[in-house]
Amino acid sequence: MAALPLEGGCLCGALRYRIGAAPLWTGYCHCTSCRRSTGAPVTMFVGAATESVAFTGGERAVFASSPGVERGFCAACGTPLTYESDRFPGETHFYISTLDDPQSLPPAFHVFYEERIRWLEIADDLPRHATVTGRADGE
Residues that bind Zn ion (CB under 5 A): 10, 12, 14, 29, 31, 34, 74, 76-77
Burial 11-44 (b: 16+ CB within 10 A, else e): eeebbbbbbeeebbbbbbbbbebbbebbeeebbb
d(CA 66, CA 85) in angstroms, rounded, equals: 9
Minimum gap (Å) between residue 106 Cβ and Zn ion: 18
Of 4 and 117, CB closest to Zn ion = 117
- The nearer residue to Zn ion, 46 or 74, going by C-beta atoms, is 74
Shortest reach from residue 47's CB to Zn ion, in Å: 12
Shortest reach from residue 22's CB to Zn ion, in Å: 23
Nearest CB to Zn ion, comparing residues 12 and 21: 12
Closest-CA residue to 26 (of 125, 117, 112, 111): 111
Amino acid at 11: L
Shortest distance, CB of residue 71 to Zn ion, whole angstroms?
10
SS3 assignment, position 114 = helix
| Nearest CA-CA partner of 23 in 132, 105, 83 | 105
